[in-house]
């Protein structure tokens, strides 16, 4: 490769992660010298805040690393795995402890999947020896297929049950135009199943669906999945210490039993239809974004869209391109985060480097993980010293972010003061879900066939939607971008535990789970993407599913080690954990601001979000603490 070609490739690279990858691949720590230490406070900036001189030095090092790697005699070089911890320290620029470094090494997975569980001697867990299943996993979305994979790796038999006809959950059901992942795709993927060649930085729904299908196939778990069966109820049987699972199948109801249940039913799987008067009176077609009607051609139709959340901002631009008119009803505007590469294909040079430099895609993922995860969430945490109005910002950093994002909106809508007045949020950044933008929202709202209505809705009428100002907006089609019933965990299943207790009555509208996984009185019921495991700006839900799936396997290991049948979380551990979540969520923008958002339960509490550093969830899900559980046996076998 000549010097020009190398220069071009380097121009397309993320330099810090390229240097780390080159140092690893060539075994040369000189490629990441101390003089190029990355400043963690500047982690979000390109090249970590290096000045021109440092940048020049970094490019020279990258050239020499690439020359070394591509030289004819380089076949002798093998990656030096012993360098990995040092390179992680260098790439993060942070003073990491061993646990943190280990978590990042697992995310990096440059030496292979580091989260494969040690096999459990299943015979030691009594529940594994009976007829039917050791474990039933409900849901074959991202979380469910991962749980089945980890259980299978640990040697535990399981069946996966899904109401749908295929895997993918969110990415199977949400087929609306424009649907794409808003976490960088290199991060939104399993650590042990990384894919370097994502077509886009934020790939679209069909690509995501293919990825999850592919994982299920490669993991060999498709034949463990029973598709098109809905779980209606779960009932714990004290006598046998098993769950009795009532299924709704095409041939009628069926009961199966399992020693444990993993609920992987998602937080965003049940659409929320708004409680607006007159919805049923509308004479045209109407549907929710998660059940997109591809048989309806909206060309030349007058469309009313209710909602301006993350999904709506993805599909409205597509509607606007062909519809005669689009009226957008906005309750609260979202904060927009500029992301110029939001719809962009991965740079060709970057893809070429992923091929050329072994492990580069992994180091690239790690850098994105670090920069976009812990790097941003600090701006959403309350600073007790902050004396500004809390309804606008919760800290100086939050206020600075607010100013920056306001400037972005002013830049985007400066020529349309009428729109600008409607699109600048009046709540702190992070109190609601932020939405990525590459300028498409302003372009869409400025179209002559689009109107943004922000004053509220009075009712839906046969011919359209009447705004709170009394004006009727005629419509042939209404699309609801109104989100999901996020606070109604595990609904609409009826779940009865020990002593016949009903899970939803126990929760009373404020779902909680110890470690996001266990609820007292419901032995051997483990939740993935459970209460307080959603994240707002810092990361992907896959990280949480990986931690929780590991925890579930470790719970089963504990049972096997103790020769116990079931484990029930102790109420004091549950309460302590819920108090911890409340304490920290009350210090986050989403916990402080009264603005409406799906991050809150009807009680006003935050049962959805994780408020602490990501690594804390990893730490607390390493091993179950036996002191926090009661080990139980079938009645009469105590």
Ligand X SMILES: Cc1cc2nc3c(=O)[nH]c(=O)nc-3n(C[C@H](O)[C@H](O)[C@H](O)COP(=O)(O)OP(=O)(O)OC[C@H]3O[C@@H](n4cnc5c(N)ncnc54)[C@H](O)[C@@H]3O)c2cc1C
Q: Which is nearer to ligand X, 151 or 183 (CB)?
A: 183
Enumerate residues 110-139 that contact ligand X by CB under 6 A.
Answer: 138-139
DSSP SS3 for 493: coil
525 binds ligand X (CB under 6 A): no
For residue 193, the minimal CB distance to ligand X (Å) is 15
| DSSP one-letter string for 526-584 | EESS-TT-B-SSS--HHHHHHHHHHHHHHHHHHHHHHT-SEEEE-HHHHHHHHHHHHHH
Q: Which is nearer to ligand X, 155 or 530 (CB)?
A: 530
Q: How many residues bind ligand X (CB under 6 A)?
A: 32
Enumerate residues 484-523 that contact ligand X by CB under 6 A.
Answer: 493
For residue 99, the minimal CB distance to ligand X (Å) is 23
Q: Which is nearer to ligand X, 87 or 187 (CB)?
A: 187
For residue 202, the minimal CB distance to ligand X (Å) is 8
Q: How many CA atoms lie within 13 A of 468 on its CB side?
A: 9
State how far the Cα of 580 lies from the Cα of 14, in Å rounded to an integer. 38
The alpha carbon of 70 is separated from its chain's Cα centroid by a whole number of angstroms, namely 37
Residue indicated by tokens 């609904």:
491
Q: Which stretch binds ligand X (CB under 6 A): 11-19, 83-91, 193-201, 266-274?
A: 266-274
565 binds ligand X (CB under 6 A): no
For residue 137, the minimal CB distance to ligand X (Å) is 9
For residue 204, the minimal CB distance to ligand X (Å) is 11
Enumerate residues 200-259 that contact ligand X by CB under 6 A.
Answer: 230-231
Q: Kindly write out the interface string for residues 161-200 of this chain, putting x where it contacts ligand X by CB under 6 A and - elsewhere.
A: xxxx----xx---x----x-xxx----x------------
The residues facing 509 across adjacent strands are none
State how far the Cα of 261 lies from the Cα of 231, in Å rounded to an integer. 11
Q: Out of 541, 547, 556, 592, which residue is the one contacting ligand X (CB under 6 A)?
A: 541
440 binds ligand X (CB under 6 A): no
CA distances from 573 to 110, 202, 459, 577, 583 (A): 36, 39, 46, 6, 15
Q: Out of 127, 142, 216, 592, which residue is the one contacting ligand X (CB under 6 A)?
A: 142
State how far the Cα of 592 lies from the Cα of 579, in Å rounded to an integer. 16
| DSSP one-letter string for 62-122 | HHHHHHHHHSGGGGG----GGGHHHHHHHHHTS---HHHHHHHHHHH-TTS-TTPPPPP-G
Q: Out of 92, 189, 194, 269, which residue is the one contacting ligand X (CB under 6 A)?
A: 269
395 binds ligand X (CB under 6 A): no
State how far the Cα of 230 lies from the Cα of 164, in Å rounded to an integer. 8
For residue 72, the minimal CB distance to ligand X (Å) is 43
89 binds ligand X (CB under 6 A): no
Tokens of 125: 């867990």
Q: Which is nearer to ligand X, 106 or 476 (CB)?
A: 106
Burial of 171 (0-12, 13-18, 19+ CB in 10 A): buried
Residues 282/478, Cβ–Cβ less than 8 Å: yes
Q: Which is nearer to ligand X, 163 or 446 (CB)?
A: 163
Binding site for ligand X (CB under 6 A): 138-144, 161-164, 169-170, 174, 179, 181-183, 188, 230-231, 264-266, 268-269, 311, 493, 528-529, 540-541
């Amino acid at each position: 490769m000549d010097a020009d070609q190398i220069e071009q490739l380097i121009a397309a690279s993320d330099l810090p992660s390229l240097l780390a990858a080159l140092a690893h691949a060539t075994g040369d720590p000189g490629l990441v010298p101390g003089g190029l230490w990355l400043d963690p406070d500047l982690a979000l900036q390109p090249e970590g805040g290096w000045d021109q001189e440092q940048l020049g030095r970094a490019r020279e090092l990258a050239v020499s690393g690439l020359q070394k790697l591509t030289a004819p005699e380089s076949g002798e070089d093998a990656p030096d795995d012993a360098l990995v911890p040092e390179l992680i320290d260098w790439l993060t620029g942070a003073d990491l402890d061993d646990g943190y470094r280990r978590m990042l090494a697992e995310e990096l997975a440059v030496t292979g999947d580091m989260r494969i569980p040690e096999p459990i001697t299943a015979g030691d867990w009594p529940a594994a020896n009976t007829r039917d299943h050791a474990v039933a996993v409900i849901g074959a979305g991202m979380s469910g297929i991962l749980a089945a994979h980890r259980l299978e790796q640990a040697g535990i038999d399981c069946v996966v049950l899904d109401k749908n006809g295929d895997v993918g959950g969110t990415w199977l059901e949400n087929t609306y135009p424009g649907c794409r992942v808003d976490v960088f795709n290199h991060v939104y993927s399993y650590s042990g199943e990384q894919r370097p060649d994502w077509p886009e930085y934020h790939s679209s729904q069909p690509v995501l669906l293919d990825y999850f299908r592919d994982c299920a196939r490669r993991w060999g778990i498709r034949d463990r999945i029973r598709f098109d069966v809905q779980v209606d109820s779960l009932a714990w049987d004290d006598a046998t210490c098993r769950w009795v699972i009532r299924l709704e199948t095409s041939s009628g109801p069926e009961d199966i039993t399992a020693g444990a249940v993993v609920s992987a039913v998602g937080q965003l799987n049940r659409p929320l239809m708004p409680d607006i008067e007159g919805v049923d009176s509308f004479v045209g077609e109407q549907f929710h974004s998660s059940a997109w009607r591809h048989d309806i051609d909206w060309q030349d139709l007058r469309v009313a869209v209710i909602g301006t959340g993350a999904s709506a901002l993805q599909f409205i631009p597509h509607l606007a391109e062909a519809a005669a008119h689009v009226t957008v009803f906005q309750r609260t505007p979202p904060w927009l985060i500029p992301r110029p590469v939001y719809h962009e294909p991965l740079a060709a040079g970057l893809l070429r480097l992923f091929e050329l430099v072994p492990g580069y895609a992994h180091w690239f993922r790690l850098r994105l993980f670090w920069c976009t995860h812990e790097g941003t969430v600090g701006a959403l945490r309350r600073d007790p010293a902050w004396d500004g109005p809390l309804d606008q910002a919760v800290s100086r950093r939050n206020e600075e972010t607010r100013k920056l994002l306001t400037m972005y909106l002013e830049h985007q809508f400066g020529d349309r003061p009428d729109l600008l007045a409607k699109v600048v949020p009046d709540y702190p950044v992070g109190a609601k879900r932020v939405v990525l933008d590459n300028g498409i929202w302003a372009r869409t709202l400025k179209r002559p066939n689009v109107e943004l209505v922000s004053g509220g809705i009075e009712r839906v009428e046969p011919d359209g939607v009447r705004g709170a100002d009394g004006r009727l907006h005629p419509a042939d089609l209404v699309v609801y971008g109104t989100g999901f019933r996020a606070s109604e965990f595990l609904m609409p299943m009826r779940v009865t535990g020990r002593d016949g207790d009903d899970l939803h009555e126990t929760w009373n509208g404020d779902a909680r789970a110890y470690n996001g996984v266990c609820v007292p009185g419901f032995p051997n019921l483990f939740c993935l993407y459970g209460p307080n495991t959603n994240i707002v700006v810092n990361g992907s839900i896959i990280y949480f599913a990986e931690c929780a799936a590991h925890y579930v396997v470790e719970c089963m290991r504990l049972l096997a080690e103790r020769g116990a049948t079931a484990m029930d979380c102790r109420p004091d551990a549950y309460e302590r954990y819920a108090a911890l979540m409340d304490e920290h969520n009350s210090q986050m923008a989403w916990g402080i601001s009264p603005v409406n958002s799906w991050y809150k339960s009807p009680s006003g509490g935050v049962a959805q979000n994780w408020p602490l550093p990501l690594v804390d969830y990893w730490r607390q899900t390493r091993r179950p603490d036996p002191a926090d559980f009661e080990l139980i046996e079938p009645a009469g076998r105590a």
